[in-house]
Amino acid sequence: MDVDKQEQLPDGSLLAAIDLGSNSFHLIIAKIEHGELRPVEALAEKVQLGAGLQNDLLTNEAIQRGLECLSRFAQLLGRVGPERVRVVGTHALRVAKNRRAFTVPAKRILGTRVDVIYGLEEARLVYLGVAHTLADDAQSRLVIDIGGGSTECIVGQRFEPQAMESLQMGCVSYGRAYFAGGRISRGNYRKAYEQARAEIYRIRHRFNAKHWVECVGSSGTLQAIETILTQNKWEEGGISRAGLATLEKRLLKFKQMESIELDGLAAPRRNVILPGVAIASALFDVLGIERMRTSRGALREGVIYDLMGRLSHEDVRERTVNALMQRYAVDANTADIVERRARTFYQATCVNWQLSAYDWDLLHWLSRTHEIGMAIAHKHFNRHSAYVLRNADLPGFSQEEQELLAVLALGQRGKLGADFFAEVADTEMSRILYMLTIIRLASCFKYVEILEQLPDFSIEAGDRSLALAFPKGWLATHPLTERELGAEQVVLGKAGLKLTIS
């Protein structure tokens, strides 16, 4: 963990979160007052990044729309330190094979990295954002967020989600799939509704009305539906199945999305409101929802509350790592030893190798979990560790974090040929090699330190080089460690780092 984090952020501190949704981008800046967050700025722009997906590739036009929006957002972030800003990307960036064409320039514009998050992590953060806007009572609730590319369903109590799902259906993706060219017909609407029913049907046993007391809707789509229903006096507040049916009939009288005119419907939502109604109607029918109220809390609020926790030693990623260690029966003593030795190498090299505090966080989590693959098989345990870290549901972690931890876990032992670095971006090559060097060398000493205390030895880092100097005669009395370090000289040398041992 970052040792510079404060136990509690002082009053007046500013935090910011940006939600890069498939339909809209949202920015929120909040100030901490008496331990709570008070929004001070909020911006939203309908970028429709998801509409720019073609064969799982973002078009240049969609990328440009998104970057121009972020340039405007960046003007408000000047008074918020980059370590207190978190940016998350959802469905459109999850599926885009060329997402780095957007995330790399986005990082330059905003001064902080873009975390693309998995669907279940999006669901967790949505629930966190909604829960902070509701009464802190013990009754269970179903929270639903219909986004541009995915729909999240969460059952939870208070601030703890108990069941989460992310379904591959959203108002932008369904608009593109079932209402091509903005054309409206009963047949197209029925296809969208039936496909949504099929998606929801597989989760009905965990999310139907038997499992919760109230239903709460989050997101602009559901709020837009409620606004239309109330302004047309079809509902006094909230959303009911009867209200949805009335809205559905009125919308199907139009022939084109762009010609829809209803009180309460903003022009930018014309092309997504009908697919949103189809998804909402299917949710009501399959899950047995009679009535839904909406909440202003959403993903962006969840992100900012989660960021507040991270900066105050309440990082959910720590709980996730501890749970992972217990699930796979990790030897905690060995993990402690590797972490201590990794910290020694990190502190000795971080300045010359330009490793950040965040890089230490990654090394810390890796040190704790590098042996989880042992629970599957001792042979090639690094491959099993990498598979789990890449594919498991790890609350709090972004997609990139899991992928990076998997790369480091895989490379903790064995060869590091050209094929190993094939998927590593050129700009990240040195950073990954340096972090691999630290975890590989830390692992060399873990069996020695179980039996005895290591002597003081010097560590000097240079550009793509590392020199280790041990007390005279120590290596000769530890032939296994000497052999392992010699093997590392060869492997790291072929990967481009010169290791000197004396």
Write down all domains in the chain, each with its CATH number in brackets: 14-117+302-310 (3.30.420.40), 134-295 (3.30.420.150), 316-454 (1.10.3210.10)
For residue 502, is pLDDT > 50?
A: yes
Q: What is the pTM of this model?
A: 0.88
Confidence of residue 45 (pLDDT cuts 50, 70, 90): very high
Alpha-helical segments (H) within 148-215: 171-178, 186-201, 204-207
pLDDT in tens, 368-418: 999 999 999 999 999 999 999 999 999 999 999 999 999 999 999 999 988
pLDDT per position as a tens digit, 126-174? 999 999 888 767 789 999 999 999 999 999 998 899 999 999 999 999 9
CA separation for the pair 8, 243 (Å, rounded): 46
Our CA dihedral for 339, 340, 344, 350, rounded to 10 degrees, sits at 30
First-to-last alpha carbon distance for the chain, in angstroms, is 32
433-447 pLDDT tens trace:
999 999 999 999 887
Contact 17, 64 (CB under 8 A): no
Q: What is residue 117's three-state secondary structure?
A: coil
Paired tokens of 42:
């909020």
Instruction: Note whether 402 and 389 are within 8 A (CB).
Output: yes
Q: Which residue has the tokens 């729909």?
A: 151
Q: Which residue has the higher pLDDT, 312 or 255?
A: 255
Number of Cβ within 10 Å of residue 138's Cβ equals 8
- Cα–Cα–Cα angle for 25, 26, 32, nearest 5°? 155
* CB distance 226 to 294 below 8 Å: yes
**In this predicted structure, what is the pLDDT of residue 7?**
55
Q: Which of 35-39, 201-205, 479-483 has the lowest mean pLDDT?
A: 35-39
Q: Which residues of 267-276 are buried (b: 16+ CB within 10 A; e: fewer)?
A: eebbbbbbbb
Average predicted confidence (pLDDT) for the chain: 92
Give yes or no for a contact between 126 and 182, defined as CB atoms under 8 angstroms apart.
no
pLDDT at 240 over 80: yes
pLDDT tens-digit readout, 313-331 = 788 999 999 999 999 999 9
- Cβ-proximal residues to 316 (8 Å cutoff; 6+ apart), any chain: 124, 306, 309, 395, 396
Whether the per-residue pLDDT at 257 is higher than 70: the answer is yes
**Bridge partners, 32 (sequence order):** 37
Listed in sequence order, the residues at least 6 apart from 98 whose beta carbon sits closer than 8 Å to its beta carbon are: 57, 58
